[in-house]
Structure 1
Amino acid sequence: MPTDMSLPNLKTYEGSSPKPEDFDQFWARALRELDDQPLDYELEPADFVSELAECFHLYFTGVGGARIHCKYVRPAKKTSKGQGPGIVMFHGYSCDSGDWVEKVTYAAHGISVLAMDCRGQGGRSEDNLTVQGTTIRGHIIRGIDDPNPDNLYYRNVFLDTVQTARILMSMDEVDPARVGAFGLSQGGALTVACASLEPRIAVALPVYPFLSDYKRAWELDITTSAYEEINYYFRFFDPHHLREDEIFNRLGYIDIQNLADRIQARVLWVTGLADTICPPSTQFAAYNKITANKQLMVYYEYGHEYLPYLADRALQTFLTL
Structure 2
Amino acid sequence: MIEFSRKIFSVPEQYQASGFEYPGVKALFYEGMPYNGRRTRIFAWYGVPDNVKGKVPAMMLVHGGGGTAFPDWVRLWNSRGYAALAMDTCGGVPAWFNSVYCRNPWPRHDHSGPLGWGFDKSSFSPELPPEEQWPYHAVSSVVLGHSLLRSFPEVDPARIGITGISWGGYLTCMAAGVDKRFAFAAPVYGCGFLGGASVGLANEYRTVKDNKRFERWLSMWDPSHYLPNAKMPVLWVNGTNDFAFPMDSMQDSYRLTKKRFLAVRVRMPHAHGGAGENPEEILLMADHVCKGGESPSSFKSQGMKQGAAWAKYKSPRPVKNAELNFTRALGHWTDRTWNTVPAVMNDGLVSATLPKGTTVYYFNIFDECGRVASSEHVCLGG
Q: Same fold (TM over 0.5)?
A: yes
- Structure 1 or 2, whichever has the larger Rg, is 2
Distance in 2 between residues matched to 1:106 and 1:303, nearest whole Å: 21
State the 4+ residue runs in structure 1 displaced beyond 4 angstroms. Answer: 43-46, 123-126, 305-310
**Residue 300 of structure 1 pairs with residue 266 of structure 2:** yes
Picking from 19, 22, 36, the partner of 1:48 is: 22
For structure 1, the 5+ residue unaligned runs are: 1-22
Distance in 1 between residues matched to 2:159 and 2:123, nearest whole Å: 31
1:204 corresponding residue in structure 2:
185
RMSD across aligned C-alpha pairs, in angstroms?
Answer: 2.8
1:12 corresponding residue in structure 2:
none
**Residue 87 of structure 1 pairs with residue 70 of structure 2:** no
**Residue 103 of structure 1 pairs with residue 86 of structure 2:** no
**Residue 72 of structure 1 pairs with residue 46 of structure 2:** yes
**Residue 157 of structure 1 pairs with residue 127 of structure 2:** no
What CA deviation, in whole Å up to 9, does each residue of 1:240-268 have, x standing for no partner? 34x63464133221111211111122111
Distance in 2 between residues matched to 1:89 and 1:61, nearest whole Å: 18
Q: Give the CA deviation at 1:187.
A: 1.2
Please tell me whether the aligned partners of residues 202 and 264 of structure 1 are also in contact (alpha carbons under 8 angstroms). no
Describe how 1:122-141 pairs up with structure 2 within 5 A. Answer: 122=106, 127-129=112-114, 137-138=120-121, 141=124
Distance in 1 between residues matched to 2:268 and 2:245, nearest whole Å: 12
Please tell me whether the aligned partners of residues 137 and 232 of structure 1 are also in contact (alpha carbons under 8 angstroms). no
1:264 corresponding residue in structure 2:
231
Please tell me whether the aligned partners of residues 32 and 141 of structure 2 are also in contact (alpha carbons under 8 angstroms). yes
Please tell me whether the aligned partners of residues 165 and 276 of structure 2 are also in contact (alpha carbons under 8 angstroms). no
Distance in 2 between residues matched to 1:123 and 1:288, nearest whole Å: 39
Q: If the length of structure 2 is used for normalisation, what is the TM-score? A: 0.63
Q: Give the CA deviation at 1:123.
A: 6.4
Higher strand share: 2
Distance in 2 between residues matched to 1:308 and 1:114, nearest whole Å: 17
Please tell me whether the aligned partners of residues 49 and 78 of structure 2 are also in contact (alpha carbons under 8 angstroms). yes
Structure 1 pair 44/151, CA: closer, same or farther in 2 (3 Å)?
closer
Distance in 1 between residues matched to 2:276 and 2:137, nearest whole Å: 33
Q: Per the alignment, in what secondary structure is the counterpart of residue 187 of structure 2? A: strand
Q: If the length of structure 1 is used for normalisation, what is the TM-score? A: 0.74
Q: Give the CA deviation at 1:273.
A: 1.1
Describe how 1:246-257 pairs up with structure 2 within 5 A. Answer: 247-257=214-224
Q: Which amino acid aligns with 1:213?
A: F
**Residue 289 of structure 1 pairs with residue 289 of structure 2:** no
Distance in 2 between residues matched to 1:233 and 1:215, nearest whole Å: 10
Aligned identity (percent) is 22
Please tell me whether the aligned partners of residues 195 and 201 of structure 1 are also in contact (alpha carbons under 8 angstroms). yes
Structure 1 pair 48/32, CA: closer, same or farther in 2 (3 Å)?
closer
Q: Which has the higher relative contact order, 1 or 2, with Cα contacts under 8 A spaced 6 or more apart? A: 1
For structure 2, the 5+ residue unaligned runs are: 93-105, 291-382
